[in-house]
Amino acid sequence: MTTRTEAVKAYLLDLQDRICHALQAEDGGAQFVEDAWTRPAGGGGRTRVIADGELIEKGGVNFSHVFGSGLPPSASAHRPELAGRGFEALGVSLVIHPHNPHVPTSHANVRFFIAEKEGEEAVWWFGGGFDLTPYYAHEEDCIHWHRVAQQACEPFGADVYPRYKAWCDRYFHLKHRGEPRGVGGLFFDDLNEWDFDKSFAFMRAIGDAFIDAYLPIVQHRKAMAYTAQQREFQEFRRGRYVEFNLVYDRGTLFGLQSGGRTESILMSLPPQVRWGYDWKAEPGSEEARLTEYFLQDRDWLAPAPAL
């Protein structure tokens, strides 16, 4: 293992520890259960799952470090020159599905890939980001989420946040529904335009920002009362989350195609979800406002218009 890979691995293991500790403390009623696993083709990881807590209905914070002799199609499709190279992939990926429909679902991941071939220079890149999927959205929550994202990017250049915010809006988009999965955040991949140290520092900045972005929203919303109807709407909207993860998500496809651990990969799916034929929100309702106002490619940090 190279020194670079060792440094990334040490950071990711620590990040998993810190995020689990913060979320478990906020929940106050359940604990993460750890499941260490080994991948027969090379590598392994530690899956941590929390369920049926006071706050979190189901959540997982996964660390994985896998390697092999050839990249799977999902990783080499847009970079065919990498086909046939040996690879290592390290990452932390998390999804949190709260009970309360006023508390958004959140997702984050940070990852590092390195592809090597004897006699040729190694090719490496970083990827990651975080995004928010509310059901009953609040403007101030969306602004806070994006402000933390912008502040994490700011030391790396004024263009970084708008670029990766726009990439997130494009990536987390359900083409067959014609709508975004949530209110966005950041998404980046194939990051090697800077040197290794700066690229690694950026990945750390994004990983470290997740708790700062998410916990204040959780704290503001977790005690809000909700109805059975609101819970039902949350389950319909969770259906969109499942559709994206199983049809489009690059990480899910990479994990399944590389022989990853199925239970850990599908940990991201919510425990209670529903689909209804041609289901539509009542016009003018709070539920309709989610798609009509919040699920738009909006600049959440734009100044309010003058009155």
pLDDT of residue 1: 47
Please say if the pLDDT value at position 298 is more than 70: yes
The answer on whether 144 is annotated among ligand-binding residues is no
Structural domain contains residue 220:
yes
Is 25 buried (19+), middle (13-18) or exposed (0-12) by CB count in 10 A?
exposed
**Annotated binding residue 251:** no
Report d(CA 92, CA 196) in Å as an integer.
19
Express each pLDDT in 20-60 by its tens digit: 999 999 999 999 999 998 888 788 999 999 999 999 999 99
116-166 residue pLDDT tens: 777 777 889 999 999 999 999 999 999 999 999 999 999 999 999 999 999
With respect to residue 210, please indicate whether it lies within any of the assigned structural domains.
yes
For residue 224, is it within any domain? yes
Where is pLDDT greater, at 256 or 119?
A: 256
Residues 6+ apart with CB under 8 A from 57: 51, 97, 98, 99, 270, 271, 272
4 marked as part of a ligand binding site: no
Among 295, 125, 291, smallest CA distance to 193 is for 125
- Residues annotated as catalytic (active site), given as ranges: 107
The response to whether 111 counts as a known ligand-binding position is yes
Q: What is the C-alpha to C-alpha distance for residues 58 and 271, in angstroms, rounded to an integer?
A: 7
What is the reported pTM? 0.91
Kindly tell me if the per-residue pLDDT of 193 is higher than 80. yes
Section 3-29 average pLDDT: 96
Task: Report yes or no on 206 lying in a domain.
Answer: yes
What does the pLDDT average to over 260-275?
A: 85
How would you write 102-132 as a 3-class SS string?
CCCEEEEEEEEEEEECCCCCCEEEEEEEEEE
97 is an annotated ligand-binding site residue = yes
Residue 87 resides in a domain: yes
pLDDT band at 115 (very low <50, low <70, confident <90, very high): confident
Domain span at residue 265? 3-294
Output the domain CATH number for residue 133: 3.40.1500.10
Q: At a CB cut-off of 8 Å and minimum separation 6, what does 58 contact?
A: 49, 50, 51, 52, 97, 270, 271
147 is annotated as contributing to ligand binding? no
Count of the separate structural domains present in the chain: 1
> Is 217 inside any structural domain?
yes
Mean pLDDT score, 61-88? 77
Q: Tell me the C-alpha to C-alpha distance, in Å, between residue 171 and each of 39, 55, 97, 162.
A: 28, 28, 20, 14
